Amino acid sequence: MASLPYLPHTDADVRAMLEKAGVKTLEDLYADVPAKFLKKGPYALPPAMSEQEIREWFSSLEAQNARLKVFVGQGAYDHYTPSVIPYLTQRSEFLTAYTPYQCEISQGTLRYIFEYQSMMCALTGMDVSNASMYDGPTAAAEAMKMCVSCTRKKNTVLLSRALLPHVIKVVETYAKFHGVTIGLIDAPEGETSLKALQEALTEDVAGVILPSVNRYGIVEDHTGFADAVHAAKALMVEYCDPSALAVVKTPGEWGADIAVGDGQSLGLPLCYGGPYVGFMAVKKDYMRKMPGRIVGQTTDKEGRRVFVLTLQAREQHIKREKATSNICSNESLMALWVTIYLSLMGPEGLREVNRLSSDGAHYLYCELLKTGKFDEVFPSKPFLKEFVLKPKEFPGLMQKRLEEAGFFAALDTEEGYVTFCVTEKHGKAEIDRLVSVIKEG
Amino acid sequence: MKYYDKLVFELSKEGRCGFSLPLNSFPSGAELPAALRRESALELPEVSEPDVVRHYTNLSQMNFGVDTGFYPLGSCTMKYNPKINEEVAALQGFAGLHPLMHAGLTKGALRVYQEMNKALAAITGMYTFTFDPCAGAHGELTGLMIMRQYHMMRGDLGRTKVIVPDSAHGTNPASAAVCGLEVVEVKSLENGRIDVEALKPLLGPDIAGIMMTNPNTLGLFETQIEEIASLVHGCGGLLYYDGANMNPLMGVARPGDMGFDIMHLNLHKTFSTPHGGGGPGSGPVGVAKHLEDCIPDIRVSGFHGNFGVILRAYAYILALGRDHIRKVGQYAVLSANYIKESLKDVYKLPIEGVCKHEFVFDGLVNDGAREGVPGATTLDVAKRLLDYGFHAPTIYFPLLFHQALMIEPTETESKETIDAFIEVMRKIAAEAAVDPEILHGAPHCTPISRPDETAAARNPILKYQDA
C-alpha cells in the first residue's frame, strides 16, 4: 500500500501522546462510543493510492470527457481567463486561509473582499454589496426571501418566465419550503411583458425577479417596470450577467432595489458548473436585511485604515434562527478571481469583451440564417452574446455532427429552440467552421 | 507579515491597461438601442498587469493560512490541503466542461460523482448522496428540505418543528428557519450531552426531526445516541447529522449505523479541500435508503454543485484509501486529548474525560484580575496567540460557557507543532497571571492592531466610493 504523507506522527510520538492523554491505546480514545457503533472490518474503499497513481487515475478520467469548443451559455459562459488569475489565486495565503474572523491576520482577504464589493456596486449601480453567495440561482433565492422579509404581510414573489431555467428551479425549491408563493410572468415576445406584470401585481406581491439579459439572450427593456413594482409596494430584483453590465443599462439605472446574478462570466472556468460565485448588491435601505458576510472599513488603534467583517448582527452565528439567512461559507476565493479579473480588464477591457462577443454572435446569427436551416424566433430583439433560433430539422442530428466536429453548440431549449453563445474566445475562422458543419448536414 | 495600505483603485491611472484581447475580425454587429445602454461611468480601476500581480501579492502577505501555520480552530477542521488536489482540479479536461453537456460528453466527470458517492456512503453508512449543496449550511438546508419532503410525500403535513440542542452550530437553527421549520431547543446536561429526559416531552406528531452534531460542539460523543434515535424515530421524526464534526469518526464509526437518516459532510473541512478564505466549500448530503426518493425534486444550486471542490476531495479519499482512513480519526482525537491534558492545569476544563477531535476550555484558571485591573479574557488569549504565530481558536462558542475557547488540532499537525502551541498557551497563561494588560493590548506583532469594530458598524463604509 502507498504511504500517506499528510500525517506527521511517528510511533514514538503516538506513544508519548497516548501516555499524556492517560490512555493505553488509540482505541481507548473511543471508550465512550458504544461498542456496537464502532465499525468492524475494513471500509469499502479502494486501497490507498500513491500520488503518482492519483495523477494517472485522474488523467484517465479526464480523457473520458469530451474536449469541445463551447458555443453554449445558459448561465455558464466560456469567457477567457487571464493567466494572472490562477497564478495569484493559488497563493496559499489566499487559498488555505480560513474565514477572516481574525482580522489582524486576514487583511489580505478582507481587502480583496472590500474591493470586490466596490466593483460589484460599480457594475450594478447599487449602494451595498455582500461578500458573495454560492451561485447566481441561490443569490436569486436569497433575494426572493429578502423581498418577503422587507415587505409587510406579503407572501408572493413573481418570477419572469424569461429567467434562465435553473434560476427558476432553484428559487421555486427555496420558496416551496420557505412557504412563499411563486407566480410566473409571461414573456410572449421574448421578453418579460410589462402588461402581464401589471396584471400579476396583486396586493400580496412582495417582489418581482426580472432578467436583465434573459434566457433567450435578449437585453430586456424595463422602462416603466420599477414604477409599476414600487406602486404595488413590492421590491424589484434584477438578475444580471455582470459581464454584460459594462454595456447594458444597470439595475441601478432601471430603478431596481436588489441586483443578483452569477459572477462566473467574469473570468471563472466552466468547471462543470462550479465553483462559481453568486453576487448580491442592494439599495442602502435594505443593507441590514441583506444575507451573507459584509466587509467594512474602519481604523485600528494606531489610526490606520483597516478592514473587518461588519454588520454581523444579521448573521447566523449571532442571531441563529432570527438571522437574515443561514449562509456561512460563501465563495470567497471565487470573489478574488472576479476581483483580479475586473482589475485587469478595467472599464475598457470589459467593454471590449462585450464588443468581441456581441460582434461574433451577430456574425454567427447571420451566417446561421443564411444556411436556411433555421427560422428566426424573435427578430429585431436586441441581444449581445447569446441568442436562440428555431431549427427546421430535429436538432439531435445537428448536435451530433457538431460534437463530432469538436463543437458544443445548438443546445435545445424547453421551448423547442436551439441556443448559441459566442465569447471573445471564438474567432471568425472558428465560427465559419461551425457554420460549415451545420451547412453540410 | 507587513502592513500594506493600498487598494487597487488607488493604483489606477487613466489609460493604463491590464488586458490583452484578440483583434476584432468581425463586421461590426448591431448596436444596442440607446434606451438599453449603460449611461453611468464604469468605476473600475485601470492598472497594468505588473501592478495587479504586485498588489495582490502584497495583500496575500497580510494573510495567515494553513500553509503559514497552525490553526487550533474548533468547529472548523483546518487540516493540511494536499497539493495534488489542486493539480487535479485544474486539469483542462475537467475545468473546461460546460455544465449542460450531456452524459455522453462528460463520462469522466460522472465517474467522479459515482465514485465519490460510493466512497462517502462507505465512510458514513448512508445509502446515497446528492452533491448539489455548495457549503455546510447549504447542506443543512438541503437535508432539512429532504426531511420535510419525506413527511410531505407521506401526507404527514403537521410536522413543522425541528429539535436543535442548545450547543448546536448557529447554522442549524438558521437553516431550519430558512426551511420553514420552527426551532425547539433541547437543553444539555452538566456533562455536556443532550438531556434525554428533557427531550422526551418535546416529541410528538408536530416534530419533523432532530438536528445533532456527534461528537457535539463540546467535542463529546453523545453516548445516548441509541436511545435518542429510538425516541425520535418512535415519534415519527428523522435524525439529521451535522457533519461539521465528522473528522474524529473517520475510519472508526459511521453516523448511518447510529440511526441517522440524513447528514451532510463538509468537503472543505473533513476532506481536506482548502477553505479559500471562506469558500468555495461543498456540502454533499447523504440519506438512508428510505429517503432516496425525496431528493430529485430538490434543486438547491444551479448545476451540479461545486465540482471543482468535489474533485479535490476525491483525490484526498484516493490517497487515504481503506488503509489510512482510520488514522485520520484516531490521530485527530489523540492530538486533542494530548493538548487538553497538557493545559488543563492553567485553563479551566469544565467537563473532564476523554474528548473527541476538539474540546472547550472556559477561560483561564488565573486571569490576573486585581483591584483596578480586569482579568484577561478568552478574547485576549486568542489575540495574544496571534503574536506568537498561531491562529486563534474559535471563541465564545458554544454558548454554554461564558469564556469558551474551543481547540481542534486535526491529525495533520506534528507533535513538535503541538508542543510549541502548548508552550505558548502556558506562556500566555503565565503572562495573564502577572500582568493582564499585556494581553488586553494584544496583538502587538501583527500587521494591524485591534480594529474599532463599533465604528465600522455604526458608520458603515462598505465600498471604495463611500470612503
Region B148-155: mean pLDDT is 98
Provide the chain B residues 347-406 that lie in CB contact (below 8 A) with chain A.
353-354, 382-383, 386, 391-392, 397
* Residue in B with minimal Cα distance to A351: B42
Q: Do B42 and A122 touch (CB under 8 A)?
A: yes
Query: Over chain B, what is the mean pLDDT?
Result: 97
Per the CB < 8 A criterion, the answer to whether B266 and B77 are in contact is yes
Handedness of CA B338, B343, B347, B348 (dihedral sign): positive
Tens digits of per-residue pLDDT, B401-436? 999 999 999 999 999 999 999 999 999 999 999 999
Region B280-288: mean pLDDT is 98
Minimal Cα–Cα distance from B315 to chain A, Å? 7
pLDDT of residue B422: 98
How far apart are alpha carbons B462 and A307 in whole angstroms?
9
Contacts of B5 in chain A (CB under 8 A): 304-305
Lookup: cell for B190: 452538566
Lookup: cell for A255: 430603478
**Which of B12, B64, B317 is nearest residue A105 as measured by Cβ atoms?**
B64
**Is B345 within 8 Å of chain A by CB?**
no
**Which of A31, A245, A353 is nearest residue B38 as measured by Cβ atoms?**
A245
Contacts of B179 in chain A (CB under 8 A): 177-178
**Is A40 within 8 Å of chain B by CB?**
no
User: Buried b vs exposed e over A44-62: b needs ≥16 C-beta within 10 Å?
Assistant: ebbebbbbeebbebbeebb
Provide the chain A residues 311-370 that lie in CB contact (below 8 A) with chain B.
311-313, 315-323, 325-334, 336, 339-340, 342-353, 355-356, 358-363
- What are the strands, taking DSSP E only, across B149-298? 161-165, 182-186, 207-212, 238-241, 262-264, 285-287
Q: Best residue in A26, A36, A65, A128 to probe B by mutation, most B CBs within 10 Å?
A: A65
Minimal Cα–Cα distance from A95 to chain B, Å? 4
CATH number of A69-80+345-440: 3.90.1150.10
Query: Over chain A, what is the mean pLDDT?
Result: 97
**Is A303 within 8 Å of chain B by CB?**
no
Per the CB < 8 A criterion, the answer to whether B221 and A29 are in contact is no
pLDDT of residue A2: 87
Q: Do B18 and A345 touch (CB under 8 A)?
A: yes
Q: Do B303 and A58 touch (CB under 8 A)?
A: no
pLDDT of residue B148: 98
Region A196-222: mean pLDDT is 98
Tens digits of per-residue pLDDT, B13-42? 999 999 999 999 998 768 999 999 999 999
Q: Do A359 and B28 touch (CB under 8 A)?
A: yes
User: Buried b vs exposed e over A162-192: b needs ≥16 C-beta within 10 Å?
Assistant: bbbbbbbbbbbbbbbbbebebeebebeebbb
Q: Given the C-alpha cell 409599476, which residue does it identify?
A: A228
Provide the chain A residues 88-117 that lie in CB contact (below 8 A) with chain B.
88, 90-100, 102-109, 111-112, 114-115, 117
CA dihedral A175, B308, A352, A435 (to 10 degrees): -90
Contacts of A99 in chain B (CB under 8 A): 76, 275, 277-278
Region B333-362: mean pLDDT is 97
**Is A135 within 8 Å of chain B by CB?**
yes
Q: Given the C-alpha cell 453516523, which residue does it identify?
A: B255
How far apart are alpha carbons B225 and B144 in whole angstroms?
20
**Which of B81, B108, B171 is nearest residue A65 as measured by Cβ atoms?**
B108
Q: Do B397 and A317 touch (CB under 8 A)?
A: yes
Q: How far apart are the first and last CA of chain A?
A: 53
Region B127-152: mean pLDDT is 98
**Model confidence at B278: pLDDT above 90:** yes
Region A280-284: mean pLDDT is 98
Handedness of CA A75, A79, A83, A88 (dihedral sign): negative
* Residue in A with minimal Cα distance to B462: A296
Minimal Cα–Cα distance from B178 to chain A, Å? 6
| Span(s) in chain A for CATH 3.40.640.10 | 84-339
**Model confidence at B272: pLDDT above 90:** yes
How far apart are alpha carbons B350 and B347 in whole angstroms?
9
Of 3.40.640.10, 3.90.850.10, 3.40.50.2300, 3.90.1150.10, which CATH number belongs to B325-447? 3.90.1150.10
Q: Do B341 and A55 touch (CB under 8 A)?
A: no
Region A231-235: mean pLDDT is 98
Q: Do A326 and B177 touch (CB under 8 A)?
A: yes
**Model confidence at B122: pLDDT above 80:** yes
Alpha helices in A99-162 (DSSP H): 107-124, 136-150
Minimal Cα–Cα distance from B433 to chain A, Å? 24
β-bridge partners, B287:
B128, B262
pLDDT of residue A318: 86
Residue type, B180: G
Contacts of A250 in chain B (CB under 8 A): 38, 40
Q: Does the domain spanning B83-320 belong to CATH 3.40.640.10? A: yes
Minimal Cα–Cα distance from B413 to chain A, Å? 7
Q: Given the C-alpha cell 492519483, which residue does it identify?
A: A54
**Model confidence at A193: pLDDT above 90:** yes
**Model confidence at A305: pLDDT above 90:** yes
**Which of B65, B175, B176 is nearest residue A97 as measured by Cβ atoms?**
B65
pLDDT band for B75, please (50, 70, 90 cuts): confident
**Which of B63, B253, B456 is nearest residue A106 as measured by Cβ atoms?**
B63
Q: Which of A116, A112, A172, A117 is nearest to A145 (CA)?
A: A172
pLDDT of residue A152: 85
**Model confidence at B399: pLDDT above 90:** no
C-alpha atoms less than 13 angstroms from C-alpha of A234 in its C-beta half-sphere? 30
Region B319-341: mean pLDDT is 98
Q: So what's the ipTM on this one?
A: 0.98
Provide the chain B residues 200-219 that lie in CB contact (below 8 A) with chain A.
none
If DSSP codes are grouped into helix, strand and coil, which group holds residue A318?
helix
How far apart are alpha carbons A65 and A67 in whole angstroms?
6
Per the CB < 8 A criterion, the answer to whether A155 and A183 are in contact is no
**Which of B141, B299, B451 is nearest residue A299 as measured by Cβ atoms?**
B451
Q: Best residue in B38, B123, B131, B157 to probe A by mutation, most A CBs within 10 Å?
A: B38
Alpha helices in B354-402 (DSSP H): 378-387
Q: Does the domain spanning A84-339 belong to CATH 3.40.640.10? A: yes
* Residue in B with minimal Cα distance to A353: B21
Minimal Cα–Cα distance from B368 to chain A, Å? 24
Region B200-209: mean pLDDT is 98
Alpha helices in B224-300 (DSSP H): 225-234
Residue A254 has φ and ψ, to the nearest 5°, of -75, -10
C-alpha atoms less than 13 angstroms from C-alpha of A256 in its C-beta half-sphere? 30
Lookup: cell for A248: 447594458
Contacts of A90 in chain B (CB under 8 A): 86
pTM of the model: 0.98
Residue A218 has φ and ψ, to the nearest 5°, of -80, 135
pLDDT band for A58, please (50, 70, 90 cuts): very high
Provide Rg for chain A, Cα atoms: 25
Q: Do A45 and B317 touch (CB under 8 A)?
A: yes
| Span(s) in chain B for CATH 3.40.640.10 | 83-320
Q: Do B178 and A325 touch (CB under 8 A)?
A: yes
CA angle in degrees (0–180, nearest 5) for B207-B210-B216: 160
Minimal Cα–Cα distance from B180 to chain A, Å? 5
**Is A132 within 8 Å of chain B by CB?**
yes
Q: Which of A375, A115, A88 is nearest to B54 (CA)?
A: A88
| Span(s) in chain B for CATH 3.90.1150.10 | 325-447
| Span(s) in chain A for CATH 3.90.1150.10 | 69-80+345-440
